[in-house]
A and B are shown apart, each in its own frame.
Chain A
Amino acid sequence: MKSAPVLLSAILLLAKSSPVFSQDANLGFPKTIEAGSAFSVHLAGGGEATLYVVGPGQALRRDLQLGQALYFPAGTLCNAGHYVALLEGSATGSAEFDVVAEAKPADLSFLAKPSRLPVSMREGITGAVYVFDGYSNLIAAPMPIRFELTTPSTGTQTRSVTTRNGAAWADFDSTAQQGTDRFVASTEGASNTRVIRQVPGDPCSLKMSASQAGQKLQLTTDPVRDCSGNAVPDGTIVTFTETYLGEQSTVDVPLKRGIAKVEMPSHPGAMISVASGVVLGNQIRWGK
């Protein structure tokens, strides 16, 4: 940086709705500017110069006449970040300032998981948000976020969380009832919704009965439910096993209309058992 002894007693002229919070002591550039706000600077002195404003998020170049106000209309600097202003020409100098995100949120990036889970899972539903303004800048200032999980059967659970570095999270238990939930994250001016399906859990218990059907043995379960009383979905596999004279026959049957039904060979003295997943049902010794 050249160190020519020139006058950069720039005077900040506020434009529009006062986006400036403080002023750089050396150059008169604002320390912070709200993204998208209009502002102007007055660089004292005479002659021609070029002002560069550069940062990873944006770059500007302005040829100017020193001693006149330089106006930056609304929407000129929109990307939040740290910027360097460099003046070259009849006068030289530099300043640093930050463009900060707009105070009002415009968008929530909402990550919710899972989209489908069994009922009655402790802390099974989680959501995380990042808060952005209208220019896709992360709003790093603390911001209240409301998480709501609404289930048709049990109403609404809520959590209020304040963001830290633009991020916040919450978790919820899945409820005892199956159904479709609405998971909403919201803050002033922005909200986002995800749908979460709560499905029945694994079977809680299994009970079958046996009856003679011609030459065969008919085995039928009672309606299969999870531990919260929800019907386990059709298609869930139930395994029937018949053991007779040291030989074993196994049949896998999907639940249909809530029950599993199968015919197996009828052997007096056979031992029959039923299971689904990790749940073992009752046993029947046939014909004795």
Chain B
Amino acid sequence: MILTRTFGIAFVIAAIGAAVGSAQATVRVISPNVEGPRPLEERTATAAVRNYLEAWASFRSAFQQDNAELLDRDFVGTAEDKLSATIRQQSRLKIETSYQDRAHTIQIVFYSPEGLSLELTDDVDYDVQLIDHDKAGIQKHVRAHYVVVMTPSETRWKVRVFQAVPE
């Protein structure tokens, strides 16, 4: 894990490192550019980013293991529904995909006034690998701009919208 950070302090490094585990993703967190009247506490920002990166780990595992239940901890609502549906589609088509994130550039861009949601963007580099039956896998490197809406649950921020949009 390599982390370049333009705001915040060192504990974020440990937190994010723990979140992503063995993945070799580079994470860069840009200073928040937040719309809204509610001040964004650094602790809140750190927790949201850490939980978002943990969500990527869950997303990766769920697709690798063809197991939508692995999404439960980190995704909710529309995001969980859509990712789960994709996993089921892939099972029906007898194909597998895996997503390996390589680099993230994350910025929090909205924190709702009542504190019940925040939005971040992530310019993410990742590899997509496709396996169909016993054919050799096909891999492609992808760069995409994600818009992510997160909402708090009892103990963590969960991803409610997980959507790439054209840059």
Residues on A lying within 8 angstroms of B by beta carbon are 1-2, 31-32, 50, 52, 54-61, 79-82, 84, 86, 88, 94, 96, 98, 100, 111, 113, 123, 126-128, 130, 136-138, 140, 164-167, 169, 171
Contacts and interface: CB of A to CB of B under 8 A. Distances in A.
**B interface: dominant SS:** strand
Contacts of B164: 55-56, 80-82, 98
Nearest to A54: B97
B117 A111 contact: yes
B35 A54 contact: no
Contacts, number: 131
Nearest to A123: B37
B110 A82 contact: no
Given A1-B138, A167-B112, A61 B132 contact: yes
Given A82-B144, A96-B142, A98-B165, A61 B95 contact: yes
A266 to B, nearest CB: 52
Nearest to B141: A1
A56 B86 contact: yes
Contacts of A127: 113
Given A52-B130, A164-B35, A58 B86 contact: yes
Contacts of A130: 117, 149, 161
Given A88-B138, A164-B109, 5 more contacts: A59-B86, A86-B130, A86-B140, A100-B165, A126-B112
Interface string B138-164: 111010100101000000000001111
A94 B166 CA distance: 18
Of the candidates B85, B139, B140, the one having the most CB atoms from chain A within 10 angstroms of its own CB is B140
B116 interface: yes
Contacts of A79: 82, 86
A109 B78 CA distance: 12
Contacts of B83: 56-57
Contact of A111 (B116, B138, B139, B161): B116
A54 B95 CA distance: 10
A32 to B, nearest CB: 6
A84 B128 CA distance: 8
A135 to B, nearest CB: 9
A126 B117 CA distance: 13
Given A52-B132, A88-B135, A136 B121 contact: no
